Amino acid sequence: MSVKSSQFKKMNTAQRFNYLRDRGKYIDSRSFGTYRVHLYQAEGFFTEVWMSPGTDQVRWIEVADSNKVAQNYTKNLDLKKELGL
């Protein structure tokens, strides 16, 4: 089942996590403040999973702004390739 970013945004955190676990593709990670942020590609859009590093608890999951993904993650990412474009 393909999910659009608008549908993904309507899911609660547990549903988003399960969706990414089953259908998402891990891309990269970064640190931001006290969080560890993991980037996933999910059928045409990017998501970020924000976690507390000390406890490995998911704090929130959001659709990532694709314009900022290139700024925030590895410069060598081919975003078009990751999105299948």
Token pair 């060598």: residue: 76
Token pair 């089953």: residue: 22
The two tokens of residue 43 are 């059928």
* Cα–Cα distance for residue pair 16/75, rounded to 1 Å: 26
* Per-domain residue ranges of the chain: 5-70
Per-residue pLDDT reduced to its tens digit, 1-10:
568 999 999 9
Cα radius of gyration (the chain) = 12
pTM: 0.80
pLDDT at residue 48, as a whole number: 96
Contacts (Cβ under 8 Å, ≥6 apart) of 26: 38, 39, 40
Per-residue pLDDT reduced to its tens digit, 22-75:
999 999 899 899 999 999 998 889 999 999 988 889 999 999 988 888 788 766
